Amino acid sequence: MSSPTPEETLAAWQAREAELRARMHAPGVSRPEQFAGRTGTQIFEAMFSGELPTAPIAHTLDYLLIEARHGHAEFQGRPQFAHYNPLGTVHGGWIATLLDSAVACAVHSTLAPGKAYTTLELKVNYVKALTERVPLVRAIGDVISVGNRVGTAEGRLVGPDGTLYAHATTTCLIFEMNGGGNGR
């Protein structure tokens, strides 16, 4: 079986985005009681079903949680002129935001009920300039290790043709939620 073409990949990515946007809740911040008793993966499932709101920053920067399962998370974004730096390419901060979301949510997906996390460190390597000529990109995060207090993950930002634009690693601190929302 052959790999999908870039056009087929782009079409699949666009279809998944349309499916999710049709049932998504408006951006907002969940209340602590909405997280109570839920694992990290269950929280993401509630976002996908429209029960919990999506993060306001995802709306502001036009990106979206596309997939989350235990130890894995993917975000999809649309590079735009509004994301450009003065040199005419997408600002590294936009790329870092997508990668931070993917790697941190990969760690979040492994958490037990009552646990929260915060990013302690994010390391991003930019390997190719990104412009609005690339219709969509995916930030794909996978857990490396999760313990009682620390989780690590790695991620890649790729285009539909498989081009690598950046890659990242993160270290996250894991702690008891104590009713304070997301812990940040």
Asked, for residue 150, whether it belongs to a domain, the answer is yes
pLDDT at 177: 87
Place of tokens 């920053």: 57
Q: With a cut of 90, say whether residue 181 has pLDDT above it.
A: no
1 is a domain residue: no
Q: Rounded to the nearest 10 degrees, what angle do helices 6-23 and 40-49 cross at? A: 80
The answer to whether residue 132 is domain-embedded is yes
* Residue 153 belongs to a domain: yes
What pLDDT is stored for residue 183 in this prediction? 44
pLDDT digits (tens, 9 = 90+) for 26-47: 889 999 899 999 999 999 999 9
Q: Is residue 183 part of a domain?
A: no
CATH of the domain at 71: 3.10.129.10
For residues 2-6, average pLDDT: 92
When divided into structural domains, the chain yields a total of 1
What is the per-residue pLDDT for 99?
A: 98
Specify if 64 maps to a domain. Answer: yes
* Range of the structural domain that residue 59 is part of: 6-176
Find out whether 155 and 142 touch, Cβ atoms under 8 Å: yes
Beta carbons within 8 Å of 148's beta carbon, 6+ residues apart? 174
Q: Which helix (H) or strand (E) holds 68?
A: strand 63-69
- For residue range 7-22, list pLDDT tens digits in order: 999 999 999 999 999 9
125-131 average pLDDT score: 98
pLDDT band for 94, please (50, 70, 90 cuts). Answer: very high
Whether 170 maps to a domain, the answer reads yes
Task: Using DSSP, state whether 179 is helix, strand or coil.
Answer: coil
Which residues 6+ apart lie within 8 Å of 124 measured at CB?
Answer: 92, 95, 96, 99, 166, 167, 168
Instruction: Kindly state whether residue 182 falls inside one of the protein's structural domains.
Output: no
Candidates 77, 113, 68; CA nearest to 95 is 77
The residue among 76 and 1 whose pLDDT is bigger is: 76
pLDDT digits (tens, 9 = 90+) for 136-156: 999 999 999 999 999 999 999
